Amino acid sequence: MIDFSAAQIAELTNGTLSAGTDPATRINMATIATDSRELVPGGMYVAKAGENADGHDFLAAAFGSGAVLALAEREVAMDDAGTPFPAVIVADAVLAMGTLAAAVVARIREHSVLDVIGITGSAGKTTTKDLLAGILSAAGETVAPVGSYNGEVGVPLTVFRAVESTRYLIIEMGATKMGQISYLSNIVHPDLGVVLCVGSAHAGEFGSIDNIAQAKGELVAALAPNGRALLNYDDARVRAMAARSSAPVTFFSSADAAEGAAPADAVQARKVRTNEDGQPEFELTFPGVDGAFQVSSKLLGLHHVTNLLAAASAAHALGMAPEAIAASLNSQTATSRHRMERTDRSDGVSIINDAYNANPESMRAALRTLAELGGSGARRTWAVLGEMLELGDDSVLEHDAVGRVAVRLNISRLLVVGTGARAMHVGAVMEGSWGNESMFLPDADAAEEILRAELAPGDIVLFKSSNGAGLRFLGDRIALPTGNDPTKPSDTTTGERTAQP
């Protein structure tokens, strides 16, 4: 384990110890938590201001759960005498977490070989992270984010789980403003930087897709000359990031080699297709390696080819054998919940729950997969769609366009849920939807009523929305034909300052 004393934590974070705090108190970094309910005996609680609550209000609960130290922004009395909880008092608890995470990475590098892989992009980060962790874990001790921990809180929490024997540290990096990926890169100093794509998620915060590209490219710019950038050649904005790298660049591409689109030294997917279950298949080739390796993924949707290629590229750059990479990709199933998660009910209804997050690009990809699974009318297809958040001034146009795409793909039924998504229904009607092919519903309860009444054996239902719209929970309920409400996923609130796309 990696541990620091209270005095060391105060020194590292430029903090002070509250009155009565024992400077010799030692903290195992893996016990640090931002949720008082997750504390383990001997742990440290980070008291910070969140979106809906102030962590300082939960200090008593944290110490009641076994915390022995807090990282806080002010002293809080634990008794009527005014005695403060044992704490390191800092100006900003979240920034202090970043400082401690940087110290953990430095400690590991002092004692052993560590490769840090940073992954960013507007979509696919979590799936790529899961795939890469699956490959690397066979070669050495691997630490990767839980769920989509990808911001100023989530990245340190991931780092805190690493120990001196950790061989690979995978870091997912998200951002909603300029400078955030640079900040995260300065914490972990990635050896490899993987950029998947640039889409319109967070256009409302950034102002334009070009600004999003600038922000995602901060990972590439942060790489040292002895590192390596792994870039999606098929995305023009990602491809252009090569100019920002002082490190060597390796491209990956799903364009068929016969088209001559990608450079000869790219990692490539050739003869890309989907099987009858909507799962991607292709021939995987590596630069300087003779022959191709067959990949038949268990993931759902053609858009996962980019994620599979990115994971393969990173593993290859780290020295993994091509045969082992392909074998791992073929064996892995979806790990993180609500990302093209398929459930086949006993009554013949299939549920695809992809409602962890959404942007225009991922909406279109999910709808295309749904249409393919429908088999040109062989099965009735339902798209239950909610709002795509953080699209800024283009929100109405983007929602309208998704509704039109659903019609063009001949989706049988479109249920648009929530006022923020209403433009999808309008777009579908304007595109030629008639009767009840497209319906606007005010909330998930209304959508559930329709689905319970009208779903029939053989139907396929896609649930897709941004996280905040909550359709993933409706998808969970519909996945059970009895209507029982399953236990909701924990989705621990970490108070991320960045979103989770």
pLDDT at 452: 96
487 vs 473: CA distance, rounded Å: 9
Residues (pLDDT < 70) of the chain are: 200-204, 256-260, 481-501
The Cα diameter of the chain in Å comes to: 78
Please provide the size of the chain in residues.
501
pLDDT at 492: 35
459 vs 475: CA distance, rounded Å: 14
Which single residue is written with the structure tokens 């504390």? 39
Read off the tokens for 479: 């996945």
Domain 96-331 belongs in CATH node 3.40.1190.10: yes
All residues at 6 or more sequence positions from 257 whose CB lies less than 8 Å from its CB, including other chains:
268, 270, 285
446 vs 17: CA distance, rounded Å: 53
Return the beta strands (E) in 236-339 as ranges.
249-253, 267-274, 280-285, 293-296
309 vs 354: CA distance, rounded Å: 21
Contact 98, 154 (CB under 8 A): no
416 vs 441: CA distance, rounded Å: 6
CATH number for the domain formed by residue range(s) 341-478: 3.90.190.20
pLDDT at 322: 97
Which CATH architecture best describes the domain 3-91?
A: 3-Layer(aba) Sandwich (3.40)
- H or E stretch covering 89: strand 87-89
pTM of the model: 0.88
- H or E stretch covering 368: helix 360-374
237 vs 424: CA distance, rounded Å: 27
Which single residue is written with the structure tokens 């399953």? 486
Class of residue 435 by CB neighbours under 10 A (exposed 0-12, middle 13-18, buried 19+): exposed
Strand, coil or helix: 250: strand
Domain chopping of the chain, boundaries:
3-91, 96-331, 341-478
Which single residue is written with the structure tokens 């001949």? 410
Contact 200, 209 (CB under 8 A): yes
